[in-house]
Amino acid sequence: MYNETDLDKIDIAAEPPTEEPARQYYFMAKCREWVKDFEQKNGRLPKSCVVTFGCQMNARDSEKLRGILRETGYVEASEEEADFVIYNTCTVRENANTRVYGRLGQQKPRKKKNPHMMIGLCGCMMQEPEAVEKLKKSYGFVDIIFGTHNIYKFAELVAARLESDRMVIDIWKDTDRIVENLPNERKYAFKSGINIMSGCNNFCSYCIVPYVRGRERSRDPQAIIKEIRRLAADGVSEVMLLGQNVNSYGKTLDTPMTFAGLLQEIEKIDGIRRIRFMTSHPKDLSDELIEVMGNSQKICKHLHLPVQSGSTDILEKMNRRYTKEQYLGLVEKIRKAVPDISLTTDIIVGFPGETEADFEETLDVVRKVRYDSAFTFIYSKRTGTPAAVMENQVPEEVIKRRFDRLLKEVQTIASQACAVHEGTVGEVLVESICDHDPGMVTGRLSNNLLVHFPGGRELIGCYVDVLLKECRGFYYIGEMHRTQKAPV
């Protein structure tokens, strides 16, 4: 929400500055000239739409793209109406890629009819050379392609496209560069994600993320704290700290700092009332972190702790570096320190070599931990990962049957876990008007449970005590108990 530079003061006739972020503000000013020209010719401002696939890291990157577009004068519109559509892609599973090609296919006739239209592609899929080759060959109508490491250069790339007729492609293999103080457009006024690190060094054998997001790098703690202070001053009371493996935060810093240490610093920031984070890798979840979570007033009662499989053999082949017993031991420790914590997880079904006995181990973990919810995925072969060339790939029909059994188990347990809160009063941060009923609002409890209750727009962003009246499987219908409008 904050700008460091007033675009009108920038001399775009001069050479672009070499230092960042000044260089990007220069190109934003250049793009704005083009936007003004468009407005004059067409009697309206150009419309843009950023479509996000994948995880919270991508969602956060999309906010940065939207911030830059807003700064240059674009107005937001739907994908079907936009003059500039940007797809921020994910490649973690095959179907994520397929969806992007499908959307591009839909845009092709629009672009033919409206030659001024632009289509941009960025995100994880663009870090795969095969994907870029395919786009160049079969989707020549795409205007801009860039990757995950140079997203901060968006304005510069748009300016380059506006000045030439050719497809602009800029992909970096990796980077050490983190450019601070660029604009961003938050989806919510009262909550925000914050990248605390990027990349991943774990190389789980099925996973493409370390190849497309590069090596793990932690952001400087002072920059993180400064950003959160600014967000708090701007009305944000809930923060979500983002990284592929937040538990290893700080290990690569010049002055190392633990994730638990960072959390304690963030806890001190006035105006911040809720702290969330994801994702936690079980192998790096320290006793120090468990203790900090147990003592904290602000860290939410929710931990997303992906198990992936319950079989120690499969976990070893996955290169997860923990056993079934170590995982269950960790869960026990956390539950002891934070008794009312809600636990959620990710599970992959059908990893190469997974036997019926291995799968039973996964079901056993689900029954023992009793997750509040779980994301279940069918194993997807990712070219270039060690698992893609493993023998004993599991037949599709076997995977499908296991997946259905797992889903049933997960859902039954999750609805029982959800029901235990019935009749209690919980504090809800109201996020929006309910999608299904305009007379209701929707929000979340500290443990991340979704609650709908009668109320109006004025409650959005407020913390409200709500009586949880009726459990409907994975969410509640509630009733307002008492309102506290101002964040403490």
Q: Is 362 in the site for ligand SAH (CB under 6 A)?
A: no
Q: Which residue has the tokens 């976990």?
A: 315
The answer to whether the beta carbons of residues 207 and 168 sit under 8 Å apart is no
The answer to whether the beta carbons of residues 315 and 309 sit under 8 Å apart is yes
Q: Which two tokens stand for residue 467?
A: 């009586």
The answer to whether the beta carbons of residues 123 and 87 sit under 8 Å apart is yes
DSSP secondary structure string for all residues of 210-255: HHHH-S-EEPPHHHHHHHHHHHHHTT--EEEEE-TTGGGTTTTSSS
Q: Is 386 in the site for ligand SF4 (CB under 6 A)?
A: no
What are the φ and ψ backbone dihedral angles of 378, each rounded to 5 degrees? -80, 130
Q: Which residue has the tokens 């459990």?
A: 471
Return the DSSP state at 128. S
- Nearest residue (CB) to ligand SF4, 245 versus 373: 245
Q: Is 377 in the site for ligand SAH (CB under 6 A)?
A: yes
What are the φ and ψ backbone dihedral angles of 195, each rounded to 5 degrees? -75, 125
The answer to whether the beta carbons of residues 480 and 453 sit under 8 Å apart is yes
Using CA atoms, how far residue 144 sits from 159, 160, 165, 251, 308, in Å, is 10, 9, 11, 35, 36
Of the residues 16, 17, 210, 271, which one makes contact with ligand SF4 according to CB under 6 A = 210
Q: Considering only the stretches 112-120, 175-183, 205-213, 397-405, report the one whose residues sit in contact with ligand SF4 under the rule CB under 6 A.
A: 205-213
Residue 347 amino acid letter: I
Q: Which two tokens stand for residue 349?
A: 């079904």
Length of the chain: 488
Q: Which two tokens stand for residue 110?
A: 């629009």
Question: How many whole angstroms separate alpha carbon 218 and alpha carbon 201?
Answer: 12
Using CA atoms, how far residue 363 sits from 330, 344, 379, 411, in Å, is 18, 14, 16, 12
Q: Is 380 in the site for ligand SF4 (CB under 6 A)?
A: no
157 binds, among ligand SAH, ligand F3S, ligand SF4, none (CB under 5 to 8 A by kind): none
- Nearest residue (CB) to ligand SF4, 264 versus 326: 326
90 binds, among ligand SF4, ligand F3S, ligand SAH, none (CB under 5 to 8 A by kind): ligand F3S
Encoded one letter per residue, x for contact with ligand SF4 by CB under 6 A and - for no contact, window 245-264 reads x-------------------
Strand intervals (E) in 231-341: 238-242, 274-278, 302-304
Of the residues 308, 362, 373, 447, which one makes contact with ligand SAH according to CB under 6 A = 308
Of the residues 68, 212, 232, 347, which one makes contact with ligand F3S according to CB under 6 A = 212
- Nearest residue (CB) to ligand SF4, 142 versus 208: 208
91 binds, among ligand F3S, ligand SF4, ligand SAH, none (CB under 5 to 8 A by kind): ligand F3S
Question: How many whole angstroms separate alpha carbon 273 and alpha carbon 240?
Answer: 11
Of the residues 29, 124, 347, 349, which one makes contact with ligand F3S according to CB under 6 A = 124
Find the binding residues for ligand F3S in span 70-99 (CB under 6 A).
90-92
Question: How many whole angstroms separate alpha carbon 272 and alpha carbon 488?
Answer: 8
Q: Is 209 in the site for ligand F3S (CB under 6 A)?
A: yes
The answer to whether the beta carbons of residues 276 and 312 sit under 8 Å apart is no
User: Which residues are within 8 A (CB) of 408 and not within 5 positions of it... i.e. 6 or more apart?
Assistant: none
Encoded one letter per residue, x for contact with ligand SF4 by CB under 6 A and - for no contact, window 274-293 reads -------x------------
57 binds, among ligand SAH, ligand F3S, ligand SF4, none (CB under 5 to 8 A by kind): ligand F3S
Q: Is 348 in the site for ligand SAH (CB under 6 A)?
A: yes
Q: Is 244 in the site for ligand SF4 (CB under 6 A)?
A: yes
For the chain, the first-to-last Cα distance in angstroms comes to 22
Residue 368: which of 413, 402, 333, 403 has the closest Cα?
Answer: 413
Of the residues 279, 309, 311, 342, which one makes contact with ligand SAH according to CB under 6 A = 279
Q: Is 207 in the site for ligand SF4 (CB under 6 A)?
A: yes
379 binds, among ligand SF4, ligand SAH, ligand F3S, none (CB under 5 to 8 A by kind): ligand SAH
Of the residues 7, 35, 50, 54, which one makes contact with ligand F3S according to CB under 6 A = 54
Most distant CA atoms of the chain, gap in Å = 69
Find the binding residues for ligand SAH in span 182-221 (CB under 6 A).
206-207, 209
**Min CB(279)–ligand SF4 separation in Å:** 7
**Min CB(181)–ligand SAH separation in Å:** 27
Question: How many whole angstroms separate alpha carbon 485 and alpha carbon 488?
Answer: 9
Of the residues 27, 154, 379, 463, which one makes contact with ligand SAH according to CB under 6 A = 379
Q: Is 279 in the site for ligand F3S (CB under 6 A)?
A: no
Q: Considering only the stretches 60-68, 98-106, 207-215, 421-429, report the one whose residues sit in contact with ligand SF4 under the rule CB under 6 A.
A: 207-215
Q: Is 315 in the site for ligand SF4 (CB under 6 A)?
A: no
Q: Is 322 in the site for ligand SAH (CB under 6 A)?
A: no
- Sites of contact with ligand F3S (CB under 6 A): 54-55, 57-58, 90-92, 124, 209, 212-213
- Sites of contact with ligand SAH (CB under 6 A): 92-93, 206-207, 209, 244-245, 279, 281, 306, 308, 346, 348, 377, 379-380, 382
